[in-house]
Structure 1
Amino acid sequence: MTPIALSIAGSDCSAGAGLQADLKTFQHFQTYGLTAATCVVAETPKIVLSVHPVPPTIVQDQVALLLKSYPIAAIKTGMLFSKAHVVAISELLAKHPDIPLVVDPVMVASTGDSLLKRDAIEAYRERLLPLATLITPNLDEAEVLLDRPIRDEATIETAATELSKRFGTAVLLKGGHLEAPECADLLCEGGKLTWFRSPRIDTTASHGTGCTLSAAIAARLAHADDLATAIDRAKTYLSQSLSEALQLGEIPHLNQGTTF
């Protein structure tokens, strides 16, 4: 039977990130995708114009109904927006510890616009991250979670190890923001460190890469891959997607910031 994966995330009208990117990724890996929308976001790769949060009770209704109705084999979370959203999701997912959970702690868009209210950070730390099978922070997100800077591969190793111990979960700390000729991501699983390296691809089509990677990992976990294999296959898919990305022409950048 085709495995089923659930994405709990925001809706990106430009379809490069969020639920839309997750569904495309699930389809690539022959995984049936379910979605629970947390926010409706008016955005392109160059601007986040506005964010409309879905009421947490409605988010919870979506997730609860899907968990009762389908044999879900893996779950990923993306943009959760607020403390109330994180708490609502955590209450439900705590009842299903047998389902692999990939948490992408989305905090800031590639445009630099905030996608998370400050009150949600502690809720992530206390409620959601300890439930995860894997968390996939980038360097900026890991710095927020640890309250300190991460500047090189040595501090990446220290940070990934600390995050894994603190939250009792595996950590894939993404090093793509480092100035280096390759993208180096580090998995810390049970105290073991494994580097995943891939050539840096010169492209402007990087919008939604974090969503795509975490969705790909969740899809492979739904197929019962072990964590290292799931990450390796996910990174291969992401590299292929970036190298073959559509060139959609110039996208106007409006001189406006995020509105909530």
Structure 2
Amino acid sequence: MSENKGRVLIIAGSDSGGGAGIQADIKTVTALGGYAATAVTAVTVQNTLGVTGVHPIPAAVVEAQARAVLDDIGADAIKTGMLGDVAMVETVARVLDSARTLPAVIDPVMVAKGGASLLAAEAVVAVRTLLIPRAALLTPNAPEAEALSGLAVATTDDLRRAGEALLKLGARAVLMKGGHVAGATVIDVLVTPDGETTFEGERLETRHTHGTGCTLASACATGLAQGLSLTEAVARAWAYVHEAMRRAPGFGAGHGPLDHGWPLREKR
């Protein structure tokens, strides 16, 4: 892992509760030794009980934020999260095209943990056609994979089939997240043209799962930005998120946040 790398440009929405979105992304990248820069796509009003407001940032402003970072600070990887609508997806595709040498981790955020929609229905097609072909790594959960692939996802074998279908849409790798698949063990499947790798562990009985998807994608992006191989980056990210869930601080009355900072305390 190079000490001169680790810059991650995050293009995503802000979570006022601090558990998901840009806030979770920054915490994750920092905890894993990277450097986080951001282009904020929306300001949301939310806490552990749900999202009560979404205020999009103009697409031109988002693009200007991203280009300001890339033109000066630079980046070693790009991670995307909540994008909202077709115009934002198109904007992000342009940004990715201007930085083709950088690996892009695409987290196709569609619905908040509490159920609020974070991606317009018509934008799903735009994600499928514009972002998946530009993804070094796509990180959908089961409902997102169903929307993008058109396949039902209820079992681990379904995860594999959907992952293979998403590869055919142009992603270079797909991390199929199995948190929505029933069972005592959570199994994620990393699908690549060279085969698959599974990551599994006990299902934690906890309501503190807010921001797990954002956190996992940002952790993967940090590893890639630091020069880890794809499998190494995903393995470290998976272990980091599992422990962050296990150590969740217990904040809020709903879907609580993770303990993003645990690796920093381990180093003391």
TM over 0.5: yes
Alignment partner of 1:107: what SS? coil
Query: Structure 1 residue 175 and structure 2 residue 188: aligned?
Result: no
From 114, 139, 142, give the equivalent of 1:139.
Answer: 142
After superposition, the Cα gap between the structure-2 partners of 1:204 and 1:87, relative to the gap in structure 1 and judged at 3 Å, is same
Which ranges of 4 or more aligned residues in structure 1 deviate by more than 6 Å?
none
Alignment partner of 1:98: what SS? coil
Unpaired stretches in structure 1, ≥5 consecutive residues: 253-260
- Looking at structure 2, the residues matched to 107 and 124 of structure 1 have their Cα atoms a distance apart, in angstroms, of 10
Name the counterpart of 2:251: 248
Amino acid at match of 1:250: A
Give the CA deviation at 1:156.
1.4
1:231-253 per-residue CA deviation (whole Å, 9 max, x = no partner) reads: 0000100011001111125359x
After superposition, the Cα gap between the structure-2 partners of 1:130 and 1:2, relative to the gap in structure 1 and judged at 3 Å, is closer
- Looking at structure 2, the residues matched to 55 and 163 of structure 1 have their Cα atoms a distance apart, in angstroms, of 29
Alignment partner of 1:201: what SS? coil
Matches within 5 A, 1:58-207: 58-207=61-210
Alignment partner of 2:112: what SS? coil
Unpaired stretches in structure 2, ≥5 consecutive residues: 256-268
Name the counterpart of 2:260: none
- Looking at structure 2, the residues matched to 50 and 119 of structure 1 have their Cα atoms a distance apart, in angstroms, of 20
Give the CA deviation at 1:106.
0.1
Q: Which moved more, 1:42-51 or 1:146-155?
A: 146-155
Cα RMSD of the aligned pairs, angstroms, is 1.3
Q: Which moved more, 1:195-204 or 1:13-22?
A: 195-204
Does the Cα contact within 8 Å between 1:2 and 1:30 map onto a contact in 2?
no
Amino acid at match of 2:188: D
TM-score, normalising length from structure 1?
A: 0.94
Give the CA deviation at 1:159.
1.1
Does the Cα contact within 8 Å between 1:8 and 1:78 map onto a contact in 2?
yes
Does the Cα contact within 8 Å between 1:136 and 1:173 map onto a contact in 2?
yes
Amino acid at match of 2:134: L
Aligned length: 252
Name the counterpart of 1:42: 45
